[in-house]
Structure 1
Amino acid sequence: MLSVKSLKGFQYHAFTAFVHVVMPRPTWGSRTFATSGSSIDSSLLKIQRATALKPKPVFDNSLPFGKFFTDHMLEIEWDEKDGFSAPQIVPHHPLSIDAAAPCLHYGVQCFEGMKAYKDKSGVVRLFRPDKNMKRLNDSCQRLSMPMFDGNQFIECLKQFLKVDRDWIPDKDGFSLYIRPTVIATSSSLGVHPAHHALFYVIACPVGPYFKDGFAPVKVLAESKFKRAWPGGTGCNKVGGNYAPGLLPQKMAAQQGYSQVLWLFGEEDYVTEVGSMNFFVFWKRADGKRELITAPLDGTILPGVTRDSILELTREWREFEVSEKTFTMADLINAANEGRVIEIFGAGTAAIVSPINGISYMGKEYAIPCGKDGRAGELSTRLFHELCDIQYGRKQFRDWSVAIH
């Protein structure tokens, strides 16, 4: 069995910028296509508005995730010969693809998760969209699908949000969840790089992740099932990473746990929790406080929230911030010795999800949290700090992108 110690030799491969070549554009059918060497061109964007608008749900705590979609969607077709089509904003509709499409048979598809917010002045904002575009490009590259100009995609996305801006809640804690997706749509069976692909974006209004307050959860450390492995797609946001986690998640829920804490290797190295990155705030054996999370070794998803937490806490300079491997044995020893301060997951949906208990090998370990069983001090601080930046209440670098 491959030891996790070998993971240290794996390095996360950064995206190499795609060159945008400007050339005359032939046409294919009713759509305009660029040449195969070009990328998305936002100046060609066409808008077809829906003639009948859908009723909007009530923006309160009963709002379900992923059920009510906006009136429109963004679509961009790609063909290996002719390149990208002119981007289109069209009424939200079911997709029509061939039954042989590789996205259905071989998982040739990837996606992103991001949000749009309205600040107190009604200005629509995106949070670090460049990071999502980079990660989507990395996923496309890993699956041999077309890469694209992230800035041009963002410009198309901005126009999409302008068209459907009334779907963006203007209440604190609410946002518009955005799902950019890329699927291979070739009309033939066979495991090979995509000949045709569809880029599309759908969106839905969402409420607070924590409906009843910022409450910690318990998780089950999983040794049998694995989320990712060296050389695989753990660092990419592809559908194949998620479906295999459904059974372990169901088994954990049957035992009363909210998420699975994913482990790897004979040493049970700690990796991620559910579909979130995992953070431990503890005192090391030398007494120094440290915030630690698994490194981007190719098995860990480079979360936008993860990166934001690392940058913020390093800016504070109040404790050490580390990206390095650690095992369940390390975590249990720290818990038994009273050195764990708090633990939390981090991701787009929850931002920060505090954890107050971990079950491992049939034994449950209590994790400290804040007063009255609520989130700890660091979890709470990070949650509010990130929310303030996302909603434009606080400026930090260029993370909050206003759409005018």
Structure 2
Amino acid sequence: FGKLQVGCHVPFTEEWLPSGHSTIKLSQTHKAKPDLTNLVFGTVFSDHMLTIEWANAGGWQKPHIKPFGNLCHALCCLFEGMKAYRGADDKVRLFRPMLNMNRMAKSAERVCLPAFDRAELVECIRRLVQVDLEWVPQSDSASLYIRPTFLGTERSLGVKKPSHALLYVILSPVGSYFSTGAKPVSLWADSKYIRAWRGGTGDCKMGG
């Protein structure tokens, strides 16, 4: 499939879906698409999700694309935020996905979650977006938000490196993050409440 470059076209086609390395179970029902003029960030989700489980004993398991379902939560958690855009030429593009994968890998190392193949995860995300391609808004002010999340699923309360983990990806069509749209906003810089303390996690995206 080649490497993804900044602003490159991702060849989402029906023939692109290989079946040898993942399991795809399509939803039997399809949710109605939201009104793009009144989207509230992170409240509407597409029909499918990607899940990949990991265990210390067996390593990474086969990726699964399946109908969107309930999500589990854990204390040891990190996430990323990226987008898919539909251009005026109707082609769908991912924006700098490998930079998100690089930061996600750094976050995983920081919180003692297992390493993963960054290029393979990009391919899994591309496959998920292909399945829910119609959820990419046909709009110059909206996009499909992609949320990869990685968490430890250790069934104990002890402070230790997890022996089980779950990596999942969900999709959400979104408009502008700010209600004012793509306009300047006022920001408050606070010198007391910061996340970039010495030895902290300012270079990671942690669930905390």
Give the TM interval when normalised to the shorter protein. Answer: 0.7 to 0.9
Q: Distance in 2 between matches of 1:96 and 1:212?
A: 33
**Aligned-residue RMSD, C-alpha:** 1.6
1:187 aligns with 2:152: no
Which of 178, 195, 203 in structure 2 is aligned with 1:227?
Answer: 195
Higher helix share goes to which structure?
A: 1
Shift of 1:129: 0.4
Which of 70, 87, 106 in structure 2 is aligned with 1:94?
Answer: 70
Shift of 1:148: 0.7
Shift of 1:213: 4.6
Looking at CA atoms only, which structure, 1 or 2, has the larger radius of gyration? 1
Please tell me whether the aligned partners of residues 195 and 201 of structure 2 are also in contact (alpha carbons under 8 angstroms): no
Q: Distance in 1 between matches of 2:108 and 2:181?
A: 37
Q: Residue 164 and residue 171 in structure 1: after superposition, are their counterparts in 2 closer, same or farther (change >3 A)?
A: same
1:174 aligns with 2:174: no
Letter in 2 for 1:91: P
Q: Secondary structure, in 3 states, of the residue corresponding to 1:69?
A: coil
Superposition map of 1:95-110 within 5 A: 95-96=71-72, 103=74, 107-110=75-78
Q: Secondary structure, in 3 states, of the residue corresponding to 1:193?
A: coil
Q: Distance in 1 between matches of 2:21 and 2:182?
A: 44
Higher strand share goes to which structure?
A: 1
Higher relative contact order (CA 8 A, sep 6+): 2
CA offsets per residue over residues 196-238 of structure 1, 9 Å max, x none?
0000001100112344454323233323323221111111110
Report the equivalent of 2:99. 131
CA offsets per residue over residues 61-95 of structure 1, 9 Å max, x none?
x1111111000000000001100110000100002
Which of 157, 165, 169 in structure 2 is aligned with 1:201?
Answer: 169
Please tell me whether the aligned partners of residues 50 and 169 of structure 2 are also in contact (alpha carbons under 8 angstroms): yes
Q: Distance in 1 between matches of 2:46 and 2:125?
A: 13
Report the equivalent of 2:8. none
Q: Distance in 2 between matches of 1:208 and 1:144?
A: 34
Report the equivalent of 2:117. 149
Report the equivalent of 2:40. 64
Q: Distance in 2 between matches of 1:202 and 1:46?
A: 16
Report the equivalent of 1:328. none
Report the equivalent of 2:7. none
Aligned sequence identity (%): 46
Q: Secondary structure, in 3 states, of the residue corresponding to 1:224?
A: coil
Which of 55, 73, 88 in structure 2 is aligned with 1:120?
Answer: 88
Report the equivalent of 2:14. none
Q: Secondary structure, in 3 states, of the residue corresponding to 1:202?
A: strand
1:53 aligns with 2:21: no
TM-score between both structures, scaled by the size of structure 1: 0.45
Superposition map of 1:221-370 within 5 A: 221-240=189-208
Q: Distance in 1 between matches of 2:153 and 2:192?
A: 35
Report the equivalent of 1:274. none
The number of residue pairs the alignment matches comes to 190
CA offsets per residue over residues 85-132 of structure 1, 9 Å max, x none?
1000010000257xxxxx2xxx31100000001112222110010000
Q: Residue 215 and residue 117 in structure 1: after superposition, are their counterparts in 2 closer, same or farther (change >3 A)?
A: closer
Q: Distance in 1 between matches of 2:128 and 2:181?
A: 32
